[in-house]
Structure 1
Amino acid sequence: MQVIVLGAGLLGITTAYFLRQQGHEVTVIDRQAAAAAETSFANGGQISVSHAEPWANPGAPLKVLKWLGREDAPLLFRLRADMRQWLWGLQFLRECTPARTRHNIEQIVRLGTYSRQTLQALRSELGLAYDQRTQGILHFYTSTQEFDSAEAPAAQMRELGCDRRVISADEAVRLEPALRHIRPQLAGATYTAEDESGDAQRFTRELAARCRAEGVQFLMSHNVTALREAGGEIDHVEVTDDEGRFRRFKADAYVLAMGSFSPLLAAPLGIRLPIYPAKGYSVTMPVKDSSMAHQVSLTDDELKLVFSRLTTPPSANGPGTDRLRIAGTAELNGYDRDLNRVRCEAIVKRTEALFPGAGDTAQAQFWTGLRPATPSNVPIIGRSKVGRLFLNTGHGTLGWTHACGSGKSLARIVSGLAPEVDFAFTGLPARRVAPRGGAVVGAPS
């Protein structure tokens, strides 16, 4: 089949790669000049199955109320005259019940575990290098209340096969000596040894290069303006190229993987995607004092920040780099992408408080991107109600974690094959599958 993938971020490129492996002729269309130039550009760097507790959980409503009006709040609803924002907020509140939280954790862990395995296999097969570290992810807590509330989600994750262990403050410092500076404030931690980190942009561009080598076509600097329907299915996609010329492209199937912009293209087709842009921030700075900088990827659950160390070894192409990437927070403010200096400086301040002198703050680079957030944090992957249109979007803060598993699963769905993971795919009957290599233990329901 001829398949057009709309979007050249993590989700679009992984989908394109696995579609090509299934034997399809693939074309990727994106408005940017290069892959991973927007939301995948400078994210937190974590492949974190352990980050499965959604923003919408029983403790969230009170926190959101407490944070209202605070420019440095981890989750900031900047209320607007925007019906989509208000509807999304109401759906978010409905997802905050204990039952919905448990259900959503289950979906997120299943997809995350499968995706991490898929990434590891792909890395081994292709020899990809993207500043990866396989030292696990450590969630640390400086609030006893927050630490205590983490135990139940961690227990559920362990039941689902994600070994997120609850550990003491002393063990946390043993695993990551850079935490010694705040040892008196540490209430405890959790540690997931199987989780990883790495540069999502570098990975995406490396994989895009492999896609080109395999025959995938790229139409970059082409802005997608509309999907046109005829007879209950997509007939063609309309774009404008870098010179402003109008063009149409036809295919046998279309994949919508345009992140926060997916709902805008889907709405004229009568598809209401529960996705709203959640603006996230990141800071990247060179390592200044290696003895103070962390080696293990870290998560500060209280302030919703993640810390990764991205080290590129010296090579024939350059001397190498060693840098810190700190990312997080979410601001619901429509499609605004202006950098809020207060929020940027809050991230730097927290980093300095935790790891004084570790990074060169004078050379800090700030970035913001629009995460495509669903109220549940569960992405939308599968068939749409419009013929020949498939969806791979709504991954929120876990696009890097879920990218490879989502891309491979959607490629199988487009090819008429069953996904290998038990997940609530859109437009498919619910099904139960055994772990990879096992027998099917359930049937469609």
Structure 2
Amino acid sequence: MRVIVLGAGVAGVCTAWYLLEAGHEVTIIDRAGAAAEETSFGNAGQLSYGYTTPWAAPGIPKKAAKWLLKKHSPLIFRPDGSLFQLQWLKQMLANCNHDRYNLNKERMVRISEYSREMFRRFEDQTGLNFEGRQKGTLQIFRQPHEVGAAEKDIEVLAAYGVPYQRLKAEECLQYEPALKGALPKIAGALHLPNDGTGDCHLFTQKLAALCVERGADFQFNHTIERIEHTNGHVHAVYASGQRFEADRFVCALGSFSRPALAELGLDVPIYPVKGYSLTVPIVDEAASPVSTIIDETYKVAITRFDQRIRVGGMAELSGYQITLKPEHRETLEMVVNDLYPNGGNLSRALFWSGLRPMTPDSTPIVGKTRFDNLFLNTGHGTLGWTMSLGSAKIAADIVCDVPTEVRSDDLGLARYSA
């Protein structure tokens, strides 16, 4: 069977990998010049299987109103002039209740835990080096009320058998010794030992090379122009003047899935939520993080690579345009300097931004569409790296008409019309 995958980010390349594993002929089309050159390039770096939490949660509207007034806000909102932005916000707010939160959290944890298992199998199979570490995530809370609010997430972790440990401030040092100077600022913490880290860009590029070894055809520098279809069936994709035919198609275009599929009449509720990151050269390993630290107050993650620190965070709703504004860099610098003041050289840091493909319920869209040979693996929000192998295996199994190893019937686009 010939399959075309649209998108060579981590979601698309992982999907291609499992389709190749199943013995199919795979072509991957992307407008960039190489794999993982956009959203997968500079993400926060954490494989946060245990820290899988919907953005749409009870209390978020009230929190958001307060965040918008802060100097170092984790949320930035700027009207982009589109009706869709308002519609998406309305849908997201409709998910900010306990019932929807619990449903969405269960779906997300299901995918993330499956992805953790897929990463274990993948690393056993390939031994791929992507500067990965298996040292867990430390979620720190600066305020006592944040410690109490984490109990809802802990209930879901317990229900799924995800290991965790509540910590007092001084107990954080057994996992992150360099936090010693920041202890007075920490009210408590949660340690998730099954979480990992790694360079998503490095992983995706190396995986793309493995795909090529297995016969994958990457068509880079090809902008998708239109999709040829009749009677609920896709025939071909036109990209940069070329026509590409296949038996089945998978859309893994992240934030660009919605505009790409609009001509098919598919309403894909994915909004581009900008995130920002710094990549900081390490100057003192003893003063640097060991794994990933998530600062719950500022919603900023600090992750250790081999000789670099990746600092990622913030959510900006302002459309597709990317502008590297100094005030956002200042927020990231403030957080990492507050917790690890002597770890890296901020003057040499690389400042980056990418578009996270966010759904209103925070759950990715994986599965069938009303077109009999078009499938989706998109909308992972801030967890594309974490969910990459799990959602890709689910998507590939659905494409191949193979029963999925975990429940998947509630992950498709149809849930928005139910």
Range into which the TM-score falls when normalised by the shorter chain = over 0.9
Q: Corresponding residue for 1:282?
A: 277
Q: Corresponding residue for 2:112?
A: 112
Cα distance in 2 for partners of 1:299, 1:147 equals: 13
1:268 partner letter: E
Deviation for aligned residue 1:71:
6.1
Cα distance in 1 for partners of 2:186, 2:40 equals: 32
1:189 partner letter: A
Cα distance in 1 for partners of 2:71, 2:263 equals: 35
Q: Does 1:249 align with 2:241?
A: no
CA contact (8 A) 1:382 1:428 kept: no
Q: Corresponding residue for 2:263?
A: 268
CA contact (8 A) 1:147 1:187 kept: yes
Q: Does 1:425 align with 2:411?
A: yes
Cα distance in 2 for partners of 1:31, 1:85 equals: 25
CA contact (8 A) 2:363 2:411 kept: no
Q: Corresponding residue for 1:3?
A: 3
Q: Corresponding residue for 1:382?
A: 367
Deviation for aligned residue 1:125:
0.4
Q: Corresponding residue for 1:314?
A: none
2:366 partner letter: I
TM-score when normalising by structure 2: 0.97
Cα distance in 1 for partners of 2:407, 2:293 equals: 28
Q: Does 1:393 align with 2:388?
A: no
Pick aligned residue for 1:338 from 323, 338, 357: 323
Pick aligned residue for 1:258 from 245, 253, 268: 253
Cα distance in 2 for partners of 1:296, 1:168 equals: 18
**Deviation per residue, 1:205-240 (Å, 9 max, x gap):** 111000000001111111111212112111111110
Report the secondary structure of 1:291's partner residue: helix
CA contact (8 A) 2:47 2:195 kept: yes
Report the secondary structure of 2:287's partner residue: coil
Pick aligned residue for 2:397 from 401, 409, 412: 412
**Deviation per residue, 1:59-102 (Å, 9 max, x gap):** 21011111236563202221232111100100110111011111
Number of aligned residues: 414
2:110 partner letter: R
Deviation for aligned residue 1:135:
0.4
Cα distance in 2 for partners of 1:81, 1:410 equals: 34
**Deviation per residue, 1:281-316 (Å, 9 max, x gap):** 0000111122211102111111111111110xxxxx
Pick aligned residue for 2:312 from 312, 327, 336: 327
Cα distance in 2 for partners of 1:128, 1:13 equals: 15
Cα distance in 1 for partners of 2:261, 2:149 equals: 38
Deviation for aligned residue 1:428:
8.5
Structure 2 gap segments, 5+ residues each: none
Aligned residue runs from structure 1 range 344-383, under 5 A: 344-383=329-368
Q: Corresponding residue for 1:103?
A: 103
Structure 1 gap segments, 5+ residues each: 241-245, 312-321, 430-445
Cα distance in 1 for partners of 2:33, 2:248 equals: 24
Q: Percent identity?
A: 40
2:97 partner letter: T
1:348 partner letter: E
Cα distance in 1 for partners of 2:87, 2:153 equals: 27
Cα distance in 1 for partners of 2:103, 2:394 equals: 20
Q: Corresponding residue for 2:35?
A: 35
Cα distance in 1 for partners of 2:70, 2:174 equals: 35
Cα distance in 1 for partners of 2:184, 2:287 equals: 17
Cα distance in 1 for partners of 2:243, 2:398 equals: 25
1:22 partner letter: A
CA contact (8 A) 2:142 2:296 kept: no
